[in-house]
Protein backbone atom coordinates (compact mmCIF):
# COMPACT_ATOMS: atom_id res chain seq x y z
CA UNK A 1 0.00 0.00 0.00
CA UNK A 2 1.08 3.53 -0.74
CA UNK A 3 1.90 5.33 2.49
CA UNK A 4 0.50 8.81 2.94
CA UNK A 5 -0.04 10.73 6.16
CA UNK A 6 -1.48 14.15 6.90
CA UNK A 7 -0.84 16.34 9.90
CA UNK A 8 -2.49 17.64 11.90
CA UNK A 9 -5.65 15.56 11.60
CA UNK A 10 -7.76 18.21 13.31
CA UNK A 11 -7.12 21.90 13.87
CA UNK A 12 -9.10 24.84 15.16
CA UNK A 13 -7.68 28.27 14.46
CA UNK A 14 -8.75 31.88 14.55
CA UNK A 15 -9.48 34.14 11.60
CA UNK A 16 -6.37 35.89 10.36
CA UNK A 17 -3.84 33.38 11.63
CA UNK A 18 -1.50 31.44 9.32
CA UNK A 19 -1.98 27.69 9.10
CA UNK A 20 0.20 25.02 7.48
CA UNK A 21 -0.97 21.52 6.70
CA UNK A 22 1.51 18.79 5.91
CA UNK A 23 1.26 15.84 3.58
CA UNK A 24 3.94 13.16 3.75
CA UNK A 25 4.41 10.18 1.45
CA UNK A 26 6.72 7.26 2.06
CA UNK A 27 7.30 6.54 -1.64
CA UNK A 28 8.81 8.72 -4.33
CA UNK A 29 5.72 9.56 -6.31
CA UNK A 30 6.17 12.60 -8.49
CA UNK A 31 2.66 14.07 -8.44
CA UNK A 32 0.96 15.26 -5.26
CA UNK A 33 -2.33 17.13 -4.86
CA UNK A 34 -4.24 19.15 -2.29
CA UNK A 35 -8.06 19.11 -2.34
CA UNK A 36 -10.73 20.60 -0.16
CA UNK A 37 -14.07 18.93 0.45
CA UNK A 38 -17.23 20.81 1.32
CA UNK A 39 -20.84 19.64 1.43
CA UNK A 40 -22.40 19.68 -2.01
CA UNK A 41 -19.12 20.32 -3.82
CA UNK A 42 -17.32 17.02 -3.86
CA UNK A 43 -13.55 17.46 -3.92
CA UNK A 44 -12.01 20.54 -5.49
CA UNK A 45 -8.38 20.85 -6.42
CA UNK A 46 -6.46 23.62 -4.64
CA UNK A 47 -2.87 23.15 -5.82
CA UNK A 48 -0.76 20.33 -7.11
CA UNK A 49 2.91 19.51 -7.58
CA UNK A 50 4.65 17.65 -10.37
CA UNK A 51 8.06 17.56 -8.72
CA UNK A 52 10.33 19.22 -6.19
CA UNK A 53 9.79 22.97 -6.39
CA UNK A 54 7.31 22.47 -9.27
CA UNK A 55 3.76 23.45 -8.38
CA UNK A 56 0.67 24.80 -10.11
CA UNK A 57 -2.76 26.10 -9.24
CA UNK A 58 -6.01 24.21 -9.19
CA UNK A 59 -9.54 25.54 -9.44
CA UNK A 60 -9.78 27.02 -5.91
CA UNK A 61 -6.25 28.31 -5.23
CA UNK A 62 -7.06 31.82 -3.94
CA UNK A 63 -5.90 32.24 -0.34
CA UNK A 64 -3.63 29.18 -0.44
CA UNK A 65 0.02 28.60 -1.20
CA UNK A 66 2.05 25.40 -1.39
CA UNK A 67 5.64 24.31 -1.20
CA UNK A 68 7.51 21.16 -2.03
CA UNK A 69 11.16 21.20 -1.01
CA UNK A 70 11.42 17.40 -0.79
CA UNK A 71 9.78 14.68 -2.82
CA UNK A 72 8.06 13.23 0.22
CA UNK A 73 6.54 16.41 1.66
CA UNK A 74 3.90 18.73 0.22
CA UNK A 75 2.83 21.65 2.42
CA UNK A 76 -0.37 23.67 2.12
CA UNK A 77 -0.38 27.11 3.74
CA UNK A 78 -3.28 29.41 4.48
CA UNK A 79 -1.52 32.75 4.82
CA UNK A 80 -4.39 34.36 6.73
CA UNK A 81 -7.18 31.93 7.50
CA UNK A 82 -10.79 32.92 6.85
CA UNK A 83 -14.03 31.26 7.89
CA UNK A 84 -14.65 30.25 4.27
CA UNK A 85 -11.59 28.02 4.51
CA UNK A 86 -13.24 25.85 7.12
CA UNK A 87 -13.22 22.52 5.35
CA UNK A 88 -11.79 19.04 5.20
CA UNK A 89 -8.48 18.96 3.34
CA UNK A 90 -7.22 15.89 1.53
CA UNK A 91 -3.82 15.21 0.09
CA UNK A 92 -3.40 12.69 -2.72
CA UNK A 93 -0.56 11.10 -4.65
CA UNK A 94 -0.64 9.94 -8.25
CA UNK A 95 0.13 6.24 -8.50
CA UNK A 96 1.92 4.95 -11.63
CA UNK A 97 -0.95 2.72 -12.71
CA UNK A 98 -3.51 5.52 -12.90
CA UNK A 99 -5.39 6.24 -9.69
CA UNK A 100 -4.87 8.95 -7.14
CA UNK A 101 -4.43 7.62 -3.63
CA UNK A 102 -5.82 9.80 -0.83
CA UNK A 103 -4.66 10.51 2.68
CA UNK A 104 -6.95 10.42 5.73
CA UNK A 105 -7.74 14.14 5.66
CA UNK A 106 -7.38 17.16 7.95
CA UNK A 107 -10.44 18.78 9.42
CA UNK A 108 -9.81 22.52 9.73
CA UNK A 109 -12.13 24.89 11.55
CA UNK A 110 -11.56 28.65 11.35
CA UNK A 111 -13.43 30.57 14.05
Partner 1 sequence: GESVGLHLPTLSVQEGDNSIINCAYSNSASDYFIWYKQESGKGPQFIIDIRSNMDKRQGQRVTVLLNKTVKHLSLQIAATQPGDSAVYFCAESPRSNDYKLSFGAGTTVTVRA
Q: Which is nearer to partner 1, 74 or 90 (CB)?
A: 90
Q: Which is nearer to partner 1, 18 or 88 (CB)?
A: 88
Among residues 1, 35, 23, 104, which one has the least CA distance to residue 70? 23
Cα separation values, 8 from 21, 41, 45, 107, Å: 7, 23, 20, 8
Q: What angle do CA 83, 87, 92 make, to 5 degrees?
A: 140
Q: Which is nearer to partner 1, 80 or 109 (CB)?
A: 109
Q: Are 70 and 58 in contact (CB under 8 A)?
A: no
Measure CA 64 to chain center: 10
Which of 1, 28, 42, 53 binds partner 1 (CB under 8 A)? It is 42
Which of 41, 70, 79, 109 binds partner 1 (CB under 8 A)? It is 41
Q: Tell me how far, at minimum, the Cβ of 69 lies from partner 1, in Å.
A: 20
Interface ranges with partner 1 (CB under 8 A): 31, 33, 40-45, 48, 50, 56, 58, 90, 94, 98-105
Amino acid sequence: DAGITQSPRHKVTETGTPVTLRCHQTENHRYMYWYRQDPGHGLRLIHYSYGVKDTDKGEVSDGYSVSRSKTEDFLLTLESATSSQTSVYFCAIQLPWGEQYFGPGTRLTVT
